[in-house]
Amino acid sequence: MKIRAFALVLLSGPTVYVVQLLIFVLRFGRIDADTVLQGLIFVPAGWLMALPVAFFLGRLPRRSQRLWLWGFAAVALPVSLFGMMMGGLFGLVGVIAYGVLPMLAAATVGYVLIRLVSRS
C-alpha cells in the first residue's frame, strides 16, 4: 500500500469519529462522556470504509480516473455516515454493515464503470 493510501486509511477513522461527534452536538446541543466513549465504535468503521477507496485509487493510473472515483466516494459518504449512525443501534456489526457497505459498493461500482469507460 502506498504511503498516501495508508495515510488516507489511517486518518479516516478519527475523522469519521469527529464528524459523528459533531453531528451529535448539532442534533442534541450537548455532549457527555458516554457519547464520547461510545462514539469510539466509529473509528474502526472509518478505517474499513476507507480501505476500498484506497485500494481502488491505487489501481487507477490516471489522475482524471482517480478524481472520478473520489466523486463516487463523495456521493456515498453521506449514505455511509447515516448508515453508521443507524447501525450504531446494533453495535459494531451494525456500524460496519450499514456504514462500510455503501462505501464499498460505491467504490466498486465506480471503479468498474471508470475502467469500462476508459477502455472504450
Question: Which tens digits make up the pLDDT trace of 71-105?
Answer: 999 999 999 989 988 888 888 889 889 989 999 99
Given a contact cutoff of 8 angstroms between Cβ atoms, the answer to whether 107 and 52 are in contact is yes
Task: Find where cell 482517480 sits.
Answer: 66
Helices (H), 1-120: 3-28, 33-38, 42-57, 63-87, 92-119
Which residue segment(s) compose the domain that 18 sits in? Answer: 3-119
Does the structure show a pLDDT above 90 at 51?
Answer: yes
Residue 12 makes CB contacts below 8 A (sequence gap 6+) with 46, 47, 49, 50
Cα 66 from Cα 60, distance rounded (Å): 6
- If you average pLDDT over every residue of the chain, what do you get? 90
- pLDDT value at 52 more than 90: yes
* Number of domains into which the chain is organized: 1
Give the per-residue pLDDT at 89.
Answer: 85
Q: Average pLDDT for residues 64-72, to the nearest whole number?
A: 94
At position 111, the amino acid (one-letter code) is Y
Q: Are 48 and 14 in contact (CB under 8 A)?
A: no
